Structure 1
Amino acid sequence: MATVTPQMVKQLRDRTDQPMGLCKQALDQSAGDLDAAIVWLQKQNSKMGVKREGNETAEGRVGTYFCNTDKVAAIVEMRCESAPSAKSDQFVGLAGDVAKHVATASPADVAAALSQPFGAGTLQDRINDVVGVIREKMILQKFNRLTGAVYGSYVHHDGTVGVLLACTGAAANDELLRDVSAHIAALNPPYATVAAVPADVVAKEKELVQADMAADPKNAGKPANILEKVAEGKLKTRLAEVVLTEQPMANSAKYPNTTVGAALQKAGLTVQQYIRYKVGAVTY
């Protein structure tokens, strides 16, 4: 049986990020064999996940990944128990790894993703490794995977809100697509384009515009064609509040007097769809 030295313990800690005491125990249990100690740690981390299974995972972060060369992208929501853990380097890295895995491995659902190969183990093993470091329950809550478009993304600094944006176009504009994704994260528009607004919503907005105009004495006696043009302008203004492409870019200093649609059009891009995640919220 090999003597476990401090250098061996440090080497195992550097490779696994596990506590020193646990690394020493793993090496003792594995007769000083480094690879066997790693397997032992993985088993312990898996047991820890089972022990914490009943714990609530109310915190977490969003992770995104896209590759415009391969035209694949993914957005994931990872959950954990506490806000400090959600902001840790280990959890941030985990969210990124999971998003990349989902985009490239194309799992059918969460259960399939967790059982897919990742490194020397599975994706669940990758999660368990971080569980072993942070000592909290962690789960892959949900994901969306997209293919065949030009992509951009944005994740808020605290990780709680993230957006994956898909556009059609000849080439990506990373800076613009990130800015539009940040706009979506901040303003949360329910519709991408005017054409995407349901007919009943448009009809209701028209009714409201007409009611407002009828109640305004300034419109009395105006020709019908003038009133129609005014109504069209008011309707466009109302729709701009809920339609992404009609909204002024949130970063007005960088994009003065420019709507989202105009900024994308100038770059040869057209919005196709976007997915906005907020930790703990329903996705639409």
Structure 2
Amino acid sequence: MEEFVMAEITPALVKTLRDRTNAPFGDCKKALVEADGDMDKAIEILRKKNTAIQAKASGRETGDGRVGLWVSEDGSTGGLIDLRCESAPVAKNEMFVELATDLAKQVAMKGVAASAQAMVDEAHHSQAGKTVKERIADVVGLLRENIQPHRMGRYEGGQVGGYVHHDGTVGVLVHCEGSKSDQALLRDVAMHIVARTPMAISRDKVDPALIEREREVSKAQAAESSKGKPANIVEKIAENRLNTWLKESVLEEQPFVKDESKTVGELLKAAGLKLVSFTRFKVGEATA
């Protein structure tokens, strides 16, 4: 009768598995024991374990998270993602930060999926044989929280740049027309958008109904503060109030946050760039 001999699970073997998967030392050792020292089988055991943890966590609320950003080296393509988790400590964890950037790259390379579910079903952009869901499961297995993509944005062509606030809660992706790439300037414009929250690029992009509503507010405020003055003066005061509101609200007319002697529109024009669009995500904000 042939005697069964169990493979020796050495610390070096466990370390190799840990380096490949980031799984805890104890989990790696258990997986290798179960796999009788077979590295590939141990990796599959860990993957199945992570998938089970992911399924168990999937129903829990994801009230925290981080905005992930990725822009190609030539500035021609960029992706932005609002990635959610359950708690602030996990949102700040290095593995979660890395995952957010990786999934932003997924969006940039594969396009904006029709839904979060459609995205997680995609093949991962660089890890052969793995889906996005499995890539997320690897991190869920380590951090033990529900992690879900929430919103995605992407631009391609022209000049693309972006910025994420240092705490990861707000991020912006900008898209410009122009032949000259200036990533530093686009980053600064995206940072301005993070700080000043413009409602549109230019006046013609603001909802007319919103302008009319603000005009009525301006008229009521002017009438109250200018009682006894001629109607034409009151009307002029109201229009001035509306004009001030628009200057404060549209990106091209806002004073640049790093140099208020120039507007954002003037800054971009001087660089030979014209802003086409921008996407701004803030974790936790209400969405339509």
TM bucket (normalised to shorter chain) is 0.7 to 0.9
1:215-255 deviation per Cα after TM superposition (whole angstroms, max 9, x unaligned): 5479759xx7x99987765543221121111111112xxx2
TM-score scaled by length of structure 1? 0.88
Residue in structure 1 matched with residue 53 of structure 2 by the alignment: 48
| Kept in 1: contact 2:14–2:28 (CA 8 A) | yes
Q: Secondary structure at the match of 1:165?
A: strand
Distance 1:171 1:100, change over 3 A: same
1:151 equivalent in alignment to 2:157: no
Hey, what's the Cα distance between the residues in 2 that align with 1:49 and 1:87?
A: 19
Letter in 1 for 2:41: A
Unaligned runs of 5+ in 1: none
TM-score scaled by length of structure 2? 0.87
Letter in 2 for 1:40: I
1:34-67 deviation per Cα after TM superposition (whole angstroms, max 9, x unaligned): 1221111111000011112222211110111222
1:198 equivalent in alignment to 2:202: no
1:113 equivalent in alignment to 2:122: no
Hey, what's the Cα distance between the residues in 1 that align with 2:82 and 2:89?
A: 16
Q: Secondary structure at the match of 1:164?
A: strand
| Kept in 2: contact 1:68–1:172 (CA 8 A) | no
Letter in 1 for 2:34: Q
Hey, what's the Cα distance between the residues in 1 that align with 2:234 and 2:157?
A: 44
Q: Secondary structure at the match of 1:191?
A: coil
Hey, what's the Cα distance between the residues in 2 that align with 1:203 and 1:245?
A: 20
Residue in structure 2 matched with residue 278 of structure 1 by the alignment: 282
Hey, what's the Cα distance between the residues in 2 that align with 1:163 and 1:79?
A: 17
Q: How many residues align?
A: 278
Residue in structure 2 matched with residue 269 of structure 1 by the alignment: 273
Larger deviation, residues 139-148 vs 203-212? 203-212
Residue in structure 2 matched with residue 20 of structure 1 by the alignment: 25
1:250 equivalent in alignment to 2:257: yes
Hey, what's the Cα distance between the residues in 1 that align with 2:241 and 2:73?
A: 39
Residue in structure 1 matched with residue 3 of structure 2 by the alignment: none
Letter in 1 for 2:255: P
Hey, what's the Cα distance between the residues in 1 that align with 2:137 and 2:82?
A: 16
Letter in 1 for 2:33: D
Q: 1:174 aligns with which of 156, 174, 183?
A: 183
Hey, what's the Cα distance between the residues in 2 that align with 1:174 and 1:231?
A: 40
